[in-house]
Amino acid sequence: QVQLVESGGGLVQAGDSLRLTCAASGRTSSTNVMGWFRQAPGKEREFVAAIRWSGGMPWYADSVKGRFTISRDNAKNTVYLQMNSLKPDDTAVYYCAAREIGAPSYKYDYWGQGTQVTVSS
């Protein structure tokens, strides 16, 4: 099992920045991809960004490209989401997720409890 704990959410104004942190513990060696997702009120959960523990280019949703940056610290089993130039549309609960090695690309096996990000106009 893998446990994921997010932190760093909060209330900010449009144009501000926030950095979310996802601390992974447990059998993290069984995972190879870490992702961030978000869910706004009344909307479905959507993909934000993902990165491999082994490195390589991360990938992003079009809506956040150029504003958000995902990174990882393998020594700390931690993944970050730096969010710049925040917009009210970025308001959502942000979830960290992990994919097990060998799992299909659409499937994430472990999820955190989420952290609220609210961007006021």
Work out the average pLDDT over 99-121.
Answer: 93
Encode 21-74 in three state secondary structure: EEEEEECHHHEEEEEEEEECCCCCCEEEEEEECCCCCCEECCCCCCCEEEEEEH
Q: What is the mean pLDDT of residues 8-34?
A: 96
Q: Look at residues 35, 7, 39, 1 and name the one whose alpha carbon lies nearest to residue 23.
A: 7
In angstroms, the CA 89 to CA 68 distance is: 14
Q: What is the mean pLDDT of residues 14-35?
A: 96
